[in-house]
Amino acid sequence: MHAVVFVVGLVGNALVCAAVRRNHSMRTVTNYFIVNLAVADFMVILFCLAPTVAWDVTETWFMGTALCKIVLYFQLEEFLITD
C-alpha cells in the first residue's frame, strides 16, 4: 500500500505541476495555490513516507545520524512547536 501511495502521489502531484506549467490559461491564483499544495505533498512523500517505509520494513536506519535528526524533525515538527 505504501508503494502505491508513493507512486501515485509522486506521479499525480508531478502531473498537477506539469499541467499548470504547460497550459498558460491555467496560470491562475487558485491553481498556483493548488500547485503549492502539490509541491508540499510531493515533499511529504519524499521526506516522510519513503524513509519511514524503509525504516519500518528493514528496521534499520540507512541515512546516517544527521538525516535521522533532520527527517524526524520534519516529521514531528507539529509536536515540537509549542506556544
- Contacting residues toward ligand NAG, per CB under 6 A: 23, 25-26
Question: Which DSSP category does 59 fall into?
Answer: S
Nearer to ligand NAG, 17 or 53 (CB): 17
- Closest by Cα among 37, 38, 63 to 50: 63
Nearer to ligand NAG, 18 or 70 (CB): 18
In the complex, the smallest distance separating the C-beta of residue 33 from ligand NAG, rounded to whole angstroms, is 15
In the complex, the smallest distance separating the C-beta of residue 1 from ligand NAG, rounded to whole angstroms, is 33
Nearer to ligand NAG, 18 or 63 (CB): 18
In the complex, the smallest distance separating the C-beta of residue 22 from ligand NAG, rounded to whole angstroms, is 7
Pinpoint the alpha helices (H) of the chain: 2-22, 29-44, 50-58, 64-80
**Rounded Cα gap, residues 52 and 5, in angstroms:** 13
The grid coordinates of residue 66 equal 544527521
